[in-house]
Amino acid sequence: MANTKKVALVTGSGRGIGLGMCRELAKSGFDLVVNDIHPTDVVAPALAELQSLGAAVLYCQSDISKVTEHAGMLAKIKQHYGRLDVLVNNAGVAPNVRADVLEASPESFDRLISINLRGPYFLTQAVAKWMIEQKLTRGCIINSSSVSSTVASVNRGDYCISKAGISMATMLWAARLAEFGIDVYEVRPGIIASDMTAGVKAKYDALIANGLTLEKRWGTPEDVGRAVATLARGDISYATGQVIMIDGGMTLQRL
């Protein structure tokens, strides 16, 4: 029997922000494809939690930076569900070492571009072709970037550049895919509590207390997840290519 529920693939969703996205998508009635690099036993508690929310869950262990693995993952989804309605490009990494741009290494730059930009770009290409083939009434692709796409951090230039690339990719795919009824959006998180930010908690606790954000708290994976679910459901229409800021007012210009 063909799957009648809409299906969403969220990359890098075994934990953190990606898992928060999956929770909210499950609550919104989507079946899920969870993708991460970890063995199944590591993500098993997360998969069980999502199933308890009413979603069918398929786990695809795959490294998004390895473009040659994309076709195999999509074939697995096609065999299991027979459809894919939503892609959320969430997988991403921070630099292993925060290095001043005067000292940054080519190895770190190549790693971040490969995982944060090149992988999602070509996964979007492959998914878009499948969505076009499906003749969906509405497809949806959501890119998760960062305030770092426009806010310069000179000790992690490679990360900023990779996220700025995602912002441009959002515009490019929105322009190219509109004729096929595929909406493309970007969610741009600010300071979100996750494994990636755990090492700088004290620094940002102080900055938030001193007014870095208008809302004096850390963002949560669920904050980002609710924005993703809203876009995936189609609650916001006539708005393809737009950016949704989830930053507590951090980037609002103030005097």
pLDDT tens-digit map of 164-209: 999 999 999 999 999 999 999 999 999 999 877 777 888 999 999 9
CA distances from 246 to 12, 82, 175, 213, 227 (A): 19, 33, 23, 11, 8
What pLDDT does 214 receive?
97
For 132, the 3-state DSSP assignment is helix
Mean pLDDT calculated for residue range 108-127 = 98
Indicate whether 106 pLDDT > 70.
Answer: yes
Cα separation, 139 vs 36, whole angstroms: 22
Indicate whether 159 pLDDT > 60.
Answer: yes
Residues designated as active site: 159
pLDDT top residue among 198 and 4: 4
Share of the chain above pLDDT 90, in %: 95
CA atoms within 13 A on the CB side of 152: 3
What pLDDT does 197 receive?
78
pTM attached to this predicted model: 0.96
Burial class of 240 by CB neighbour count within 10 A (0 to 12, 13 to 18, 19+): buried
Cα separation, 163 vs 247, whole angstroms: 15
pLDDT in tens, 41-58: 999 999 999 999 999 999
Of the candidates 140, 138, 144, the residue with the CA atom closest to the CA atom of residue 120 = 144
pLDDT in tens, 7-37: 999 999 999 999 999 999 999 999 999 999 9
Tell me which CATH homologous superfamily contains domain 7-200+214-246.
Answer: NAD(P)-binding Rossmann-like Domain (3.40.50.720)
Indicate whether 1 pLDDT > 60.
Answer: no
Mean pLDDT calculated for residue range 66-77 = 98
What pLDDT does 4 receive?
85
Cα separation, 11 vs 119, whole angstroms: 11
Confidence at 77, pLDDT banded by 50, 70, 90:
very high
Cα separation, 159 vs 163, whole angstroms: 6
Per the prediction, the chain carries an average pLDDT of 96
Cα separation, 226 vs 173, whole angstroms: 23
What pLDDT does 2 receive?
61
pLDDT top residue among 93 and 1: 93
Mean pLDDT calculated for residue range 124-152 = 97
CA distances from 79 to 47, 66, 83, 126 (A): 19, 21, 9, 16
